[in-house]
């Protein structure tokens, strides 16, 4: 198969849907001689913030001179970016090579009732572990796909785990309460493996703490065992903060990712970096931490793609992420008129997300359909009493006509949506 045929075969496995459980991935990895057990790993779960935390940690570990593999989802620019080494996507020819190795195994599994119909994410996970083993990376940062306990990445015993945030998302699969979702997320905690916990409410933390205590896993909680102090930045794009842990006291850290929540993500990454460095016998340097954080970039997260006019993309795709975005808008763009173009998936609580957006002063909301299998349609918006655009380009054109002064255009609602917008706008169209 060539590259296009390879990607088409992987994508075709989407038809089997989301199938939590480890039986298929265990079998597939076993047939590959379990590459995951030969790698040093970090496991990052949570409702939101996984991708940003992964990026911060990767940049910190790169400053140590390490060869760092990352596994993230979904992709924003190219399919291959989900599997990357030091930020460089897996080459097309490597993807082709690995699928040629894995496809016969999957085909054989498809003949066995209990093993058949491995889904896209399971196949990508197997490709990822094999690629990183073949590439002789020093460490792999593995982002959980969905939940934790039954996610197919949960086949590793990492050096350290992290749970960034807990919010209501994928309630049809993970549970309808914060406690139930926390129970699923805490499933990535392993026996005596440290776990770093980001900003979560008390109900979620109690569930995580109970799991950690049962497994004798040291727990580092944000704002208890390590903390940050937000510093109001000047007009530059980004954030400034101080960081303190049991062994570090760092002042005036700067990050280029916008939003107070990115300070939380960076703080979790620093604590992860401390634990990983200690386990690998590497020195922890405040100077290297500052350099690494400053380099971190994560597309589609309060990302400025144009100055004139100011156009910002944010992949807020559930109620928890939308609450964070709304708080950032009220702080970062206070007094500005915000022309917002919203497109989302039908699997999300769209009414709650829109309700949150409407609390932002001076925000003009336009909703739109977009080309994706599960995208909310114009007809569905109409049922909510909203007049939607057929195409986001139409909504953008109208917003551009309405701009005055220091107005902002915000495009949000789904990572899949902003990925499409980003590709076209940055592609010169």
Mean pLDDT, all residues of the chain: 92
pLDDT at 69: 99
Print the SS3 string covering 90-132.
Answer: CCHHHHHHHHHHHHHHHHHHCCCCCCCCCCHHHHHHHHHHHHH
**How many CA atoms does the CB half-sphere of 277 hold within 13 Å?**
22
Question: Which residue, among 389, 144, 412, 74, has the nearest Cα to 259 in the 3D structure?
Answer: 412
**What pLDDT is stored for residue 21 in this prediction?**
82
pLDDT of residue 104: 98
pLDDT number for residue 172 = 58
* Contact between 188 and 144 (Cβ < 8 Å): yes
In angstroms, the CA 13 to CA 198 distance is: 33
- What pLDDT sits at residue 334? 85
The CATH architecture that domain 303-426 belongs to is: Alpha-Beta Complex (3.90)
161 token code pair: 């785990």
For helices 260-280 and 50-62, angle between their N-to-C axes, nearest 10 degrees: 50
β-bridge partners, 240: 231, 254
- pLDDT recorded at residue 174: 65
**pLDDT score, position 173:** 61
- In the block, residue with structure tokens 């703490």: 209
- Every domain of the chain with CATH number 3.40.1190.10 lies at 3-295
Q: Which pLDDT does position 170 carry in this prediction? A: 57
How far lies 402's CA from each of 310, 364, 395, in Å? 13, 10, 11
Percentage of the chain lying above the pLDDT 70 cut: 96
Instruction: Determine how many CB atoms are found less than 10 A away from the CB of residue 256.
Output: 17
Q: Could you report the per-residue pLDDT of 330-366, keeping only the tens digit for each?
A: 988 888 999 999 999 998 899 999 999 999 999 999 9
The stretches in the chain having pLDDT less than 50 are 429
Q: Start-end ranges of CATH 3.90.190.20 in the chain?
A: 303-426
Per the listing, tokens 């190795």 go with: 101
The CATH classification number of 3-295 equals 3.40.1190.10
């Amino acid at each position: 198969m060539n590259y296009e045929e390879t990607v088409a075969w992987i994508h075709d496995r989407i038809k089997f849907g989301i199938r939590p459980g480890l039986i298929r991935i265990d079998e597939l990895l076993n047939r590959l001689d379990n590459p995951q057990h030969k790698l040093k790993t970090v496991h990052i779960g949570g409702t939101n913030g996984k991708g940003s935390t992964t990026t911060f940690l990767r940049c910190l570990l790169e400053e140590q001179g390490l060869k760092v593999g990352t596994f993230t989802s979904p992709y924003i620019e190219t399919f291959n970016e989900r599997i990357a080494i030091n930020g460089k996507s897996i080459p097309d020819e490597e993807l082709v090579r690995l699928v040629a190795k894995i496809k016969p195994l999957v085909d054989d599994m498809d003949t066995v009732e209990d093993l058949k119909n491995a889904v896209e994410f399971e196949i990508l996970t197997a490709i990822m572990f094999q690629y990183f083993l073949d590439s002789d990376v020093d460490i792999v940062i593995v982002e959980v796909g969905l939940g934790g306990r039954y996610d197919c990445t949960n086949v590793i015993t990492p050096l350290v785990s992290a749970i960034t945030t807990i919010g209501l998302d994928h309630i049809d699969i993970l549970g309808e309460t914060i406690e139930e979702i926390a129970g699923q997320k805490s499933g990535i905690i392993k026996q005596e493996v440290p776990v770093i916990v980001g900003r979560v409410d008390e109900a979620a933390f109690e569930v995580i703490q109970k799991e950690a205590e049962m497994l004798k896993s040291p727990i580092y909680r944000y704002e208890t065992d390590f903390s940050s102090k937000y510093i109001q930045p000047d007009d530059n794009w980004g954030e400034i903060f101080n960081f303190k842990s049991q062994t570090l006291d760092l002042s005036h850290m700067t990050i280029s990712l916008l939003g107070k929540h990115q300070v939380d993500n960076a703080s979790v990454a620093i604590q992860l970096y401390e634990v990983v460095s200690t386990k690998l016998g590497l020195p922890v340097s405040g100077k290297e931490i500052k350099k690494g954080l400053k380099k971190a970039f994560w597309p589609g997260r309060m990302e400025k793609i144009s100055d004139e006019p100011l156009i910002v993309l944010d992949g807020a795709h559930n109620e928890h992420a939308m609450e964070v975005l709304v708080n950032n808008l009220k702080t970062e763009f206070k007094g500005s008129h915000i022309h917002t173009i919203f497109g989302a998936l039908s699997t999300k609580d769209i009414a709650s997300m829109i309700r949150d957006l409407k609390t932002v002063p001076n925000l003009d909301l336009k909703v739109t359909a977009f080309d994706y299998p599960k995208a909310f349609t114009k007809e569905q918006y109409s049922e909510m009493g909203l007049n939607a655009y057929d195409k986001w380009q139409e909504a953008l054109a109208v917003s551009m006509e309405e701009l005055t002064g220091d107005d902002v255009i915000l495009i949000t609602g789904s990572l899949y949506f902003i990925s499409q917008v980003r590709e076209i706008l940055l592609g010169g169209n």
